[in-house]
Amino acid sequence: MNAILLRSCFVLFVLSLYGSFLHAEDNQVQPDPVEAPESTLMLDLPETGMDPTAIDFQALPKIKGKHGVVSLGDEEWNFRLHNYLAFHDGKYFCFWSHGPVVEDKARQHLQYSTSLDGLNWEEPRVLLGPPKEGYGYIARGLWVRDNQLIALASLYEAPSFNGGDLELVASIWDIDKQSWSEPQLIFDDALNNFPPKKLATGEWMMSKRSAKRDVSILIGGVKAIDDWKEFPLSTYKADGGGKPEEPFWWKLPDDNLVGLFRDNSRSGRLLRAFSTDNGRSWTKMTKTNFPDATSKFHVTHTSNGYWVMFSNPNPKQRNPLCMSVSRDGLVFDRMVRLPVPEELENAKWADSSRFGSTRYESWQYPHSIEQNGSVLVAFSRRKQTVEVIQIDLDDIAGLYLD
């Protein structure tokens, strides 16, 4: 047997051992996927195991929750998407992209609303109005930094942010005046996906895409809100054929980082990578076994120790909107549907013969925060409303009582 064949047999033996570890019982030591990033394991449910094709999404149980409406459609401005939440100065803030008909058209702008309890919202107001002719704004997150609330948005050249002018800008909330400042430039050629979060180093970090759709990491934000250093992560066509979009990241207990990506190659799975040097470099992306409708998702690490991901896991459509739960930040072992009402009173749909931009009822683009003993999730129905679901932390923990 030659050396090459011997080496191949050894690799297969090691991978088989690694696979057996992944299938081990919870009380056994499992290898750290950060050290073995080629692992595809991200989902292991009690009912269907690691096979995402075995999931009956409509038969998933519903978790309890309370529902609220932030904004409904109207005749001139049908489009509402890219919802973001924050809690600041004793109240909830929600803002979103607000435009005509569908996303990324000229005149798309930003609206916001506030709430004292997360369920009952004030009448929406304009945060940033339609920009100069031929351009639009995309909501990009609410960043709480040094007791300031900062609304991030990307100014793009319509009809799409791909290929044209693109700038990340910020508008700061003035508590005394109860109003937003004029936008200021944060970074050029940038469409971030979520607001910055703090690294173990004390630096802020956020992922972003360029007008060419390449993915990179911005680290900084300490000295000033426009002080960032960029670290490339992946071209739009990654090694292995995936097309990473709408990147998100979170810290593990050891301060290593998980990066998760929607796959625009429509594999129907999420892509994952890891960083062990605070976001400066990343492992090769791996297609996981976690299913996805090629849509946006969001993860919150709760104070009672769970990672909860809100997403559309049905690869065929953005319905249902689900919550998946992990106890280690790596493998999600519970999945439930959110209690989204099937019908919405007083909605003014743009076209009653269609469900927004799809031919089915869709609930998409969630964003979540934890506050006052519950997780609040904002999402859009048909890309024409902004709604919220409030879930008690005790009900999340209760998923493990069986």
Average pLDDT, the chain: 90
Question: In whole angstroms, what is the distance from residue 384 CA to residue 362 CA?
Answer: 10
Place of tokens 């929600």: 94
Q: Which helix (DSSP H) or strand (DSSP E) does residue 364 occupy?
A: strand 363-371
Overall fold of domain 66-341+363-400: Neuraminidase (2.120.10)
CB 308 within 8 A of CB 331: no
> Cβ contacts of residue 31 below 8 Å, gap of 6+?
18, 21, 22
Q: What is the pLDDT of residue 26?
A: 44
Q: What is the pLDDT of residue 76?
A: 85
Largest CA distance in the chain: 79
Residue type, 176: D
Does the structure show a pLDDT above 60 at 341?
Answer: yes
Of 22-36, 148-162, 252-266, the least confident: 22-36
Phi, psi of 371 (to 5 degrees): -160, 140
Q: Is 10 helix (H, G, I), strand (E, B) or coil?
A: helix
More confident site: 33 or 244: 244
Question: In whole angstroms, what is the distance from residue 156 CA to residue 185 CA?
Answer: 13
Does the structure show a pLDDT above 80 at 11?
Answer: no
Q: What are the domain boundaries of the chain?
A: 66-341+363-400
Question: In whole angstroms, what is the distance from residue 35 CA to residue 226 CA?
Answer: 34
More confident site: 95 or 240: 95
DSSP state of 400: G
Q: Where are the beta strands (DSSP E) in 53-147?
A: 66-71, 79-88, 91-99, 109-115, 125-128, 135-145
What pLDDT, in 10s, does the model give residues 198-249?
999 999 999 999 999 999 999 999 999 999 999 999 999 887 789 999 999 9
Question: With bands split at pLDDT 50, 70 and 90, how would you rate the model's confidence at 323?
Answer: very high
Q: What is the pLDDT of residue 164?
A: 80
Burial category of 28 from C-beta neighbours within 10 Å (exposed 0-12, middle 13-18, buried 19 and up): exposed
Of 36-45, 233-242, 329-338, the least confident: 233-242
Radius of gyration of the chain (CA): 21
Does the structure show a pLDDT above 90 at 270?
Answer: yes
Q: Is 394 helix (H, G, I), strand (E, B) or coil?
A: helix
Question: With bands split at pLDDT 50, 70 and 90, how would you rate the model's confidence at 348?
Answer: confident
Q: What is the pLDDT of residue 289?
A: 97
Q: Is 393 helix (H, G, I), strand (E, B) or coil?
A: helix
CB 258 within 8 A of CB 330: yes
Total Cβ atoms within 10 A of residue 262: 23
pTM: 0.90
Q: What angle do CA 271, 275, 281 make, to 5 degrees?
A: 100
